[in-house]
Amino acid sequence: MATPLTDQEKRKQISIRGIVGVENVAELKQGFNRHLHFTLVKDRNVATPRDYYFALAHTVRDHLVGRWIRTQQFYYEADPKRVYYLSLEFYMGRALQNTMINLGLQNASGVGYGGSGRDGRRSCFLDSMATLGLAAYGYGIRYEYGIFNQKIKDGWQFEEADDWLRYGNPWEKARPEFMLPVHFYGRVEEEDGKEPKWVNTQVVLAMPYDTPIPGYMNNTVNTMRLWSARAPNDFNLRDFNVGDYIQAVLDRNLAENISRVLYPNDNFFEGKELRLKQEYFVVAATLQDVIRRFKTSKKNCSGPLSFDSFPDKVCFCYTLYTKHLTRPETSIPHCNSAASRLQQALCVCMSFCLAWNITKQTFAYTNHTVLPEALERWPVELMERLLPRHLQIIYRINQIHLDHIASLFPDDMDRIRRMSLIEEEGGKRVNMAHLCIVGSHKVNGVAEIHSDIIKRDVFRDFSELEPEKFQNKTNGITPRRWLLLCNPGLADLIAEAIGEDYVKDLNHLQKLNDLVDYDTFIRDVAKVKQDNKLKFAQYLEKVYNVDINPASMFDVHVKRIHEYKRQLLNCLHVITMYNRIKRGPIKPFVPRTVIIGGKAAPGYHMAKMIIKLITSVADVVNNDPVIGRKLKVIYLENYRVSLAEKVIPATDLSEQISTAGTEASGTGNMKFMLNGALTIGTMDGANVEMAEEAGEENLFIFGMRVEDVAEMDKEGYDALQYYESLPELKQAVDQIKSGYFSPKQPEMFSDIINMLFHHDRFKVFADYESYVKCQERVSALYKDQREWTRVVIKNIAASGKFSSDRSIKEYATEIWGVEKIRKLLE
């Protein structure tokens, strides 16, 4: 049975956040002063907090550089198989504290981790790859403007540009010597007996910027390379010759627009040319870079070059793990563009069939959505204009694919139509998901229920054809950022109780089950949570000028705003609680602070209306004297990673209430679980596995299951039936409809009402009664703080499965075929 460590054992432990010797502290101070003076050219009389941040960041980077160089040297000598992890949403964010934790420098500096830098994020997967010692690289786009900053004005969302590079980025290193050309437009010249040539193209240069990705306390530093679009120096010289200088400059700006801004639309696929350019830009540059590295490897430099070994040395993983507002399935054209681009490159030196075989062995595809409107289908007309040679390759791949299907199912024309890479209905379009599957040796979902759905429903024909190709790899999160960094009090408490091995193997948290009845440990866990709530309450009072009750239950629903995530269901429950208090103001009521946050895509009208409804309800609830401190509703403006690091450790109840069968996995649910929040949720995404790990009795599960939703879809969903049979639901809906929350504009929310009654694919009313009853169970348990904390401990103990280290180990052994570099820089 695990018991808390003695004082003597604690002294033997190395502090989780790193104990640094006096000499290292002096070294850091010396480096800090050097960078303040010679890099930033400031002294303490004129330096700003941002200058201090940059000086410390440069100092910390100095500690990375030697490890970074030696890691790459080691990879060159050992020549292991490398993983190349592509995403359209790697963009630089605040890395200082995470880097210091991984280097063991956290306690060496008295300079606080302040508000400088952009609130971006680095992938949990990249962190785990480095921590596990895998030879891995991240590739993406270096956007000049990241995801927009959200401003809430009079309850409405407004978007402001996020100029995150305004003050520079201390972590990146430009690599102009590796700049590469990327081609667009043009035409294809064909001659008998010769490989077609893509000519008269427009060229954009891809300029790489490298960022170090350190592993946790292991000397491994991998690389994330982001590409920035640059116009070539000889752009439109003819325009200069005729004196049209302005037009030439404007054309240059058009070329560089490719990396100008992260695409934010979330509601449906629109087929925008810029998006396709971005997708092709990142894969074309990356593939050239990877092929260059392969050609210049130690083995190939000393012997004859052969691409036969390419799949033994290279694996491409296409995924969109780090989601924000862009559609999850926007990773699909990566695989499409990359497969056809690699095929094009290999066809220069070998036959088409051999090149296609090597391509398939090299790619692995991770699917992240089951929503049909999120699947990208590029118009053939656009593809033909922008990437004419690649469209030819896609046609040829499709012909090989359909010939194979026809040989197996000669009389099943409907199956051939369903499995084609080219859709004919409603205009010719390239189905990117189909090309991903055909062009990859492995396909996986990101939670068990999600993987079952894509095999059983979304990609059923393909799964029946090649069942061995489909796998599941449940998502995970890095405990370095999502526990050590954001919740040091809990991290230290756990380390004192069971030791520090859990940082690299989260399964050690199971030892906490032995302490679930240990009164001292229960009180300590509760105290850490209350301290985090007090800090966050002070933050809310300072930023939002709202006085909340720190003893109230912090009920948190933070994620991008989307109909399937059902913020509307939460809002209806808030109105129901409001009405209950109004009906019986002296009746017992467990106080709640409902905290909702997330961004709506700029073009997503319904999501923006949902934000306006929530903020309008909050205005009524928060200013009603009858309600007092029993119920507060807060909308978190500009929800982002740095804000998540504040709110997640303070959360009591985590809302994960998507309609069953719509959420691929989710990772927020895992972050809340690890930080001591209990989950109210449907059996959707990773919630299913969380319930399996912790026991369904230790989560608040409600609502329809996947099979119930499927049955309702067959029989038909009648929202009116629920509205008429549930009085509290009817009252809440009538209040919205009548203008109770928008008295100056009673019809303001008519679009929401119309959707709920006539177009609600996510069946909010159907789960309302179950949700409200489940919330009553939540309140009942919260009144017994000892029992609540016992359940919290059980959840933390069960969260070991949801480490990204576990996810990456499974990917590495079962999909990528790569091994940990066991001896590195010792």
Is position 368 annotated as part of the catalytic site? Answer: yes
Secondary structure (DSSP) of 576-605:
HHHHHHHH-TTS----EEEEEE-PPPTT-H
| 687-711: b (≥16 Cβ within 10 Å) or e | bbbbbebbeeebbbbbbbbbebbee
Distance CA 654, CA 680 (A): 6
Question: 180, 290 in Cβ contact below 8 A?
Answer: no
Q: Residue 701 phi/psi, 5° resolution?
A: -95, 135
Q: Are strands 221-230 and 136-141 parallel, antiparallel or unpaired?
A: parallel
| 233-260: b (≥16 Cβ within 10 Å) or e | eebbeebeeeeeeeebeeebeebbebbb
The beta strands (E) that lie in 384-483 are given as 422-423, 429-431, 442-445, 470-472
The dihedral sign for the CA sequence 503, 508, 513, 517: negative
> What is the 8-class DSSP label of residue 50?
H
Question: Which of 121, 442, 560, 608 is an active site residue?
Answer: 560
Distance CA 324, CA 640 (A): 9
Question: 544, 583 in Cβ contact below 8 A?
Answer: no
Distance CA 529, CA 524 (A): 9
Distance CA 121, CA 103 (A): 18
Distance CA 505, CA 804 (A): 10
The three-state secondary structure class of 446 is coil
Distance CA 785, CA 336 (A): 53
Task: Give the CA distances from residue 774 to residues 189, 361, 656, 778, 799, in Å, rounded to whole numbers and listed in that order.
Answer: 65, 48, 13, 6, 22
Question: 63, 103 in Cβ contact below 8 A?
Answer: yes
585: left (phi over 0), alpha (psi -120 to 50) or beta: alpha
| 534-559: b (≥16 Cβ within 10 Å) or e | eebbeebeeeeeeebbbebbbbbbbb
Q: Are strands 180-184 and 136-141 parallel, antiparallel or unpaired?
A: unpaired
Place of tokens 């030697």: 66
The 3-class SS string of 192-231 reads CCCCCEEECCEEEEEEEEEEEEECCCCCCEEEEEEEEEEC
Question: Which of 566, 671, 794, 806 is an active site residue?
Answer: 671
Question: Which of 565, 612, 640, 801 is an active site residue?
Answer: 565
Smallest CA-to-CA distance from 387 within 422, 317, 336, 456 is with 336
310 Cβ partners below 8 Å, 6+ apart? 294, 358, 362
Tell me how many degrees the CA angle 71-481-822 measures, rounded to the nearest 5.
Answer: 30
Q: Are strands 377-379 and 429-431 parallel, antiparallel or unpaired?
A: antiparallel
The strand pairing partners of 470, in sequence order, are 443
Question: Which of 293, 324, 368, 434 is an active site residue?
Answer: 368
Is position 671 annotated as part of the catalytic site? Answer: yes
The strand pairing partners of 224, in sequence order, are 138, 211
Is position 560 annotated as part of the catalytic site? Answer: yes
> What is the 8-class DSSP label of residue 680?
E
Question: Which of 576, 667, 679, 789 is an active site residue?
Answer: 667
Distance CA 820, CA 801 (A): 20
Task: Give the CA distances from residue 71 to residues 212, 607, 803, 826, in Å, rounded to whole numbers and listed in that order.
Answer: 11, 45, 24, 11
Q: Which residues are known to be catalytic?
A: 368, 559-560, 565, 667, 671
